[in-house]
Structure 1
Amino acid sequence: MGQITFRYVRTLSMTMCVTPLLVLILLNEHRCHSCVSR
Protein backbone atom coordinates (compact mmCIF):
# COMPACT_ATOMS: atom_id res chain seq x y z
CA MET A 1 0.00 0.00 0.00
CA GLY A 2 2.84 2.39 0.80
CA GLN A 3 4.35 1.86 -2.64
CA ILE A 4 1.05 2.76 -4.34
CA THR A 5 0.76 5.92 -2.23
CA PHE A 6 4.35 6.90 -3.07
CA ARG A 7 3.71 6.37 -6.79
CA TYR A 8 0.48 8.41 -6.58
CA VAL A 9 2.23 11.27 -4.77
CA ARG A 10 5.10 11.24 -7.28
CA THR A 11 2.66 11.32 -10.21
CA LEU A 12 0.71 14.14 -8.55
CA SER A 13 3.86 16.21 -7.95
CA MET A 14 5.00 15.65 -11.54
CA THR A 15 1.57 16.75 -12.79
CA MET A 16 1.71 19.88 -10.61
CA CYS A 17 5.14 20.70 -12.07
CA VAL A 18 4.23 19.96 -15.71
CA THR A 19 0.75 21.54 -15.84
CA PRO A 20 1.90 25.20 -15.45
CA LEU A 21 4.48 24.63 -18.20
CA LEU A 22 1.82 23.26 -20.55
CA VAL A 23 -0.46 26.20 -19.73
CA LEU A 24 2.35 28.68 -20.47
CA ILE A 25 3.10 26.95 -23.79
CA LEU A 26 -0.58 27.00 -24.78
CA LEU A 27 -0.90 30.68 -23.83
CA ASN A 28 2.23 31.55 -25.84
CA GLU A 29 0.90 29.69 -28.91
CA HIS A 30 -2.49 31.40 -28.57
CA ARG A 31 -0.77 34.80 -28.30
CA CYS A 32 1.35 34.07 -31.38
CA HIS A 33 -1.72 33.04 -33.40
CA SER A 34 -3.64 36.17 -32.34
CA CYS A 35 -0.64 38.33 -33.30
CA VAL A 36 -0.34 36.63 -36.70
CA SER A 37 -4.06 36.96 -37.48
CA ARG A 38 -3.99 40.75 -36.99
Structure 2
Amino acid sequence: SGLGLAIVSAIVSAHGGSASASDLGDGAQVVVAFPADGGE
Protein backbone atom coordinates (compact mmCIF):
# COMPACT_ATOMS: atom_id res chain seq x y z
CA SER A 1 0.00 0.00 0.00
CA GLY A 2 2.98 2.33 0.35
CA LEU A 3 2.08 3.23 3.93
CA GLY A 4 5.30 1.68 5.26
CA LEU A 5 7.46 3.72 2.90
CA ALA A 6 5.55 6.88 3.84
CA ILE A 7 6.22 6.24 7.54
CA VAL A 8 9.90 5.45 6.93
CA SER A 9 10.24 8.52 4.71
CA ALA A 10 8.75 10.79 7.39
CA ILE A 11 11.06 9.44 10.10
CA VAL A 12 14.18 9.58 7.90
CA SER A 13 13.29 13.08 6.67
CA ALA A 14 12.90 14.28 10.26
CA HIS A 15 16.53 13.23 10.79
CA GLY A 16 17.82 15.02 7.68
CA GLY A 17 17.86 12.05 5.33
CA SER A 18 15.89 10.73 2.39
CA ALA A 19 14.18 7.47 1.45
CA SER A 20 12.98 6.13 -1.89
CA ALA A 21 11.84 2.88 -3.46
CA SER A 22 11.94 1.50 -6.99
CA ASP A 23 10.14 -1.46 -8.55
CA LEU A 24 12.71 -3.63 -10.31
CA GLY A 25 10.19 -6.04 -11.80
CA ASP A 26 11.38 -9.12 -9.92
CA GLY A 27 11.89 -7.27 -6.65
CA ALA A 28 12.22 -3.85 -5.13
CA GLN A 29 15.05 -1.52 -4.24
CA VAL A 30 14.76 0.65 -1.12
CA VAL A 31 17.38 3.35 -0.55
CA VAL A 32 17.72 5.20 2.76
CA ALA A 33 20.38 7.94 2.97
CA PHE A 34 21.54 10.15 5.82
CA PRO A 35 23.96 13.10 5.65
CA ALA A 36 27.56 12.14 6.50
CA ASP A 37 27.87 14.95 9.06
CA GLY A 38 24.96 13.66 11.13
CA GLY A 39 22.97 16.84 10.52
CA GLU A 40 24.50 18.63 13.48
TM-score tier, shorter chain, comes to 0.3 to 0.5
Task: Choose between structure 1 and 2: higher strand proportion.
Answer: 2
Larger Cα Rg: Structure 1 or Structure 2?
1
| TM-score normalised by L of structure 1 | 0.40
Task: Choose between structure 1 and 2: higher helix proportion.
Answer: 1
